[in-house]
Chain A
Amino acid sequence: MKALVFIPEEYNGLELFGLVRTLRDEGISSSVIARRKTCEDEVTHDWINVHYTIYELMDKFTIPELMKEYDAFIVSSGAFNYTLKSWTDKDVRTLVKAFFKEGKTIGAICVGVPSIQDVVKGKKIACWPLVQEKELLRRAGAILTGRSVVRDGNVCTAEHQMATHNWGLAIASSIKGEEWKDPMVEKIFLVDEVSFEEGVDGKKV
């Protein structure tokens, strides 16, 4: 089982390495792609395979080939200015749509969530509470929740970097086709949705 992880230029190391480590612990390997080669050199590690930029990847492989190779496409986040580019990046959105169409797992975190705007219609999601981001996702038809991690079908989203571990577990369960119970919220919010504005127990935190 393999996951394809996209990172912006100034990526959030906590999210990237936390995710990759969690996936590795769950028996899932990861390939990381970015726009710039230098960025990829930084994250090269024994347990992270880095071979291509996203452009090289799209040039060298066809979508069906990628589908055979990978089980999930995940968008990690980072510095806002750079992550913002992925919201409108043609290749990122093409991959998101292609993976979703094939029933593969889609993941996004923090300000990277709008990158998967094409597949969130009617889906419950978590995202970083940014006015711009919330508006974009609402217009895309997403149901915003105030939770830290949400898995709705094969779409796994997380609100912030501190939820990376749980987010990784949600993605791993989706890839394996297992049921996922949010370890954080199973005791409180079983099915009921927490509105974004209300926050936790009606209190803004």
Chain B
Amino acid sequence: MVKFEDVDPEMLDQVERGWQRRGRVSWPILKMFLETKKFMVKLDITDTQRKSSSLYSSLNTYIKNHDLKVKVLSIKGDLYLKRTDIDKDGNPIAPGEGDEILPGKEPVDVDQMVNEIDAGKRQPK
């Protein structure tokens, strides 16, 4: 059985902040990266006791879950962090601008796609 007790109003703010768990790996790395104000950095992960692939996965998940404007890149086993809200010169980029559009991954116009399917020009997947 549990009882539900009212929370002291003075404690509300503290409790709210207290439950927000910060990780010991991804959060410190990303926070320090944002502190640098650099566009891109290469990570020296020798002392982290983590494999590059494992750290890549952790960082990527953290970035997605917290909707950070950062991208983690893995090139030849080396990890790079890149900010997506500023350009190389440190100028802010408006949301949506500067996003990489890979061939075959262009944004889809849904209305046009539906019309094409209706007209028999395109088969639904």
Give the B-binding residues of A (Cβ under 8 A).
13-14, 17-18, 129, 131, 135, 147-148, 159-165, 184-185, 187-189, 197, 199-201, 203-205
Residues of B within 8 A of A162 (CB): 25, 28-29, 32, 48
Kindly identify which residue among B34, B37, B49 contacts A205, using a CB–CB cutoff of 8 Å: B34
Determine whether the beta carbon of B28 is less than 8 Å from that of A164.
no
Residues of A within 8 A of B29 (CB): 162
Determine whether the beta carbon of A163 is less than 8 Å from that of B32.
yes
Which B residue sits closest to A183, measured CB to CB? B36
Determine whether the beta carbon of B35 is less than 8 Å from that of A188.
yes
Residues of B within 8 A of A205 (CB): 27, 30-31, 34, 66, 68
Most buried by B among A163, A164, A184, A201: A184
Q: What are 24 A-B contacts defined by CB distance under 8 Å?
A: A13-B49, A14-B49, A17-B47, A18-B47, A129-B22, A131-B14, A131-B18, A135-B14, A148-B35, A159-B28, A160-B27, A161-B28, A162-B32, A162-B48, A164-B47, A184-B32, A184-B36, A185-B36, A188-B35, A188-B36, A189-B35, A199-B31, A205-B66, A205-B68
Bound Cα distance from A13 to B47, whole angstroms: 10
Q: How many A-B residue pairs have CB under 8 A?
A: 56
Kindly identify which residue among A14, A159, A185, A201 contacts B48, using a CB–CB cutoff of 8 Å: A14
Determine whether the beta carbon of A147 is less than 8 Å from that of B35.
yes
Given contacts A14-B49, A160-B24, A189-B35, 15 further A-B contacts (CB under 8 A): A13-B49, A18-B47, A131-B14, A148-B31, A148-B32, A159-B28, A161-B24, A162-B29, A162-B32, A163-B28, A164-B47, A185-B35, A188-B36, A200-B35, A205-B27
Task: Check if B17 is an interface residue, CB within 8 A of chain A.
Answer: yes
Min distance, Cβ B79 to any Cβ of chain A, angstroms: 13
Closest A-B pairs by Cβ, 7 of them: A162-B28, A160-B28, A131-B18, A205-B31, A200-B34, A188-B37, A184-B35
Residues of A within 8 A of B48 (CB): 14, 162
Residues of A within 8 A of B14 (CB): 131, 135
Residues of A within 8 A of B17 (CB): 131, 197
